[in-house]
């Protein structure tokens, strides 16, 4: 029984679908506070966004990129659900969240997917493909770079505290993508 329990507590990224995406809608007020009541992607204040648009809580570094990075860093190795949960918790932290318009949220997500698939060499070009305005592209890239650096620092701290290369490998993968923002 103990061996059975131990086996169930391990996951392999290649054999089990996993998602970094958790519900973050309930964090709306905390995200606004964390971002000084401003949409990091448009520069709009909270009042304007809430009055004129239906706001959405959005991941700055998209979950699909995090999942890809996780799989690259894991490289078929086994790990525990607890280790996955620590990374997922970071991805859904208010420091990786923004409140923005539904329209921009959808286009940014599509652009990340396009960039991830290699259809564009950099994030900025993928955002151009989806007709995201120049000033918003710049703000998205800056927010991505800031959130990416925060995530990488947190992962480096996890690696140091736990002695696990997995977290450092994820941090290195993140830094690889930082060099491709455009």
93, 60 contact by CB (below 8 A): no
pLDDT in tens, 43-59: 999 999 999 888 999 99
User: Does the CA dihedral 158-156-100-19 come out positive or negative?
Assistant: negative
Higher pLDDT, 21 or 182: 21
pLDDT at 143 over 50: yes
Q: What is the pTM of this model?
A: 0.88
Q: Output the DSSP codes for 103-169.
A: HHHHHHHHHHHHHHTTSSSSHHHHHHHTT--HHHHHHHHHHHHHHHHHHHHHHHHHHHHH--HHHHH
Q: Give the model's pLDDT for residue 71.
A: 87
Give the residue carrying structure tokens 């009042």: 47
Chain centroid offset of residue 174 CA: 10
When comparing pLDDT for 22 and 11, which is higher?
22
For residue 152, pLDDT over 70 is answered with yes
d(CA 178, CA 48): 31
Cα angle 124, 128, 134 (rounded to 5 degrees) comes to 80
DSSP string, 3-22: HHHHHHTEEETTTS------
Range scoring the smallest mean pLDDT among 23-27, 135-139, 169-173: 169-173
> With contact defined as beta carbons under 8 Å apart, do 34 and 57 qualify?
no
Output the six-digit token pair for 70.
Answer: 């996780």
């Amino acid at each position: 029984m103990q061996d059975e329990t131990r086996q169930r507590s391990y996951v392999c990224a290649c054999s089990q679908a996993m998602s970094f995406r958790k519900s973050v809608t309930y964090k709306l007020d905390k995200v606004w506070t964390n971002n000084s009541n401003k949409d990091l992607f448009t520069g709009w204040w909270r009042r304007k966004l809430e009055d004129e648009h239906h706001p959405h809580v959005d991941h700055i570094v998209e979950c699909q990129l995090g999942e890809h990075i996780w799989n690259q860093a894991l490289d078929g190795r086994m790990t525990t659900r607890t280790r996955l949960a620590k990374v997922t918790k970071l991805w859904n932290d208010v420091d990786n969240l923004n409140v923005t318009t539904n329209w921009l949220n959808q286009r940014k997500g599509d652009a990340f997917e396009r960039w991830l698939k290699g259809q564009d060499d950099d994030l900025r070009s993928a955002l151009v493909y989806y007709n995201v305005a120049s000033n918003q592209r710049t703000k998205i890239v800056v927010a991505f770079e800031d959130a990416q650096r925060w995530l990488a620092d947190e992962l480096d701290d996890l690696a140091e505290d736990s002695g696990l290369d997995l977290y450092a490998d994820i941090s290195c993968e993140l830094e690889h993508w930082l060099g491709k923002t455009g």
